[in-house]
Amino acid sequence: MQKRVFIVHGWGGSPNGTWIPWLVRRAGGAGIHAMALFMPDPDEPDIDTWVYHLGKVVENPDQDTFFVGHSIGCQTILRYMSTLDAGVRIGGAVLVAPWIHLNNAAFDGETDVSIAEPWLETPIEWDKIKIHTDRFITIFSDNDPYVPIADSKAFEKELGAKTIIESKKGHLDDVLELPRAVSSLLEMAGIGKN
C-alpha cells in the first residue's frame, strides 16, 4: 500500500500558500502520495466543519496514513483523530506551529476572538488521540507572534511529541520551504534521511 499524507493549512490559508506546495513536491518525490486540502471557509474555520471535511477526504486511515498541519490545521488533525474508532492506527503527524493557547497578537478584532474561542475552549481529547499513534513531531518558531512556545511542553506531555524549534521564522507562514517538516515526515514514514 502506498503511503499517503494529508496536509491541512491554517486559518486564512490555502494549499497553495507558504511551504505547502514545496512539501507536496518533496513528499511526492519520496514516493508518498501527498494531498494538500482546500479546507472549507478558511477565513472562518469551524471545528465541526473542518473535522468532518478531513474525515470525508481521508476515508480509511491506516498505518500508511500521515498528516501534516499548520496552526489551526494541527488542531483539526488532532480533533479528527479523537473521532476515530479505537482500533485504528495511523502512521503519525507533523504539527507545524500548533497551539492550545494564543497570544493577543493573534486577534484582529472581535470577529477573530469569536472564531478562535471554540478552538481555544473546546477540550482536546488527548487520551482518544494518542491511542492512534505514538509518532508526533511538533515544529515551533522561537519568535512566533501568535503561538506561545510554552505550548510545546503540553504536546510533549500529552502526546509524547518530539519538539523542533526553528529560529526566527515567525508563525511559519512566510517560509516557502520547511526542510525539517519533510525530514520529520520521511522519518515517520520509514523512508530515511532527506
- The Cα–Cα gap between 73 and 39 comes to 9
At residue 106, the pLDDT reads: 85
Q: What are phi and psi of 50, to 5 degrees?
A: -70, -45
Domain 4-188 has CATH 3.40.50.1820: yes
C-alpha cell at 192: 530515511
Contact 102, 192 (CB under 8 A): no
- The Cα–Cα gap between 5 and 161 comes to 18
Helix segments in the chain, DSSP class H: 20-29, 47-58, 72-81, 110-121, 126-129, 151-159, 179-188
pLDDT digits (tens, 9 = 90+) for 29-76: 999 999 999 999 999 999 999 999 999 999 999 999 999 999 999 999
Q: Rounded mean pLDDT of 12-27?
A: 96
- Supply the angle between the helices 179-188 and 20-29 in degrees, to the nearest 10: 40
- The Cα–Cα gap between 96 and 171 comes to 9
Q: Rounded mean pLDDT of 90-112?
A: 94
C-alpha cell at 179: 526542510
Q: Rounded mean pLDDT of 173-194?
A: 90
At residue 194, the pLDDT reads: 42
Q: Rounded mean pLDDT of 152-159?
A: 98
DSSP 85-110: -TT----EEEEES--SS--GGG--SH
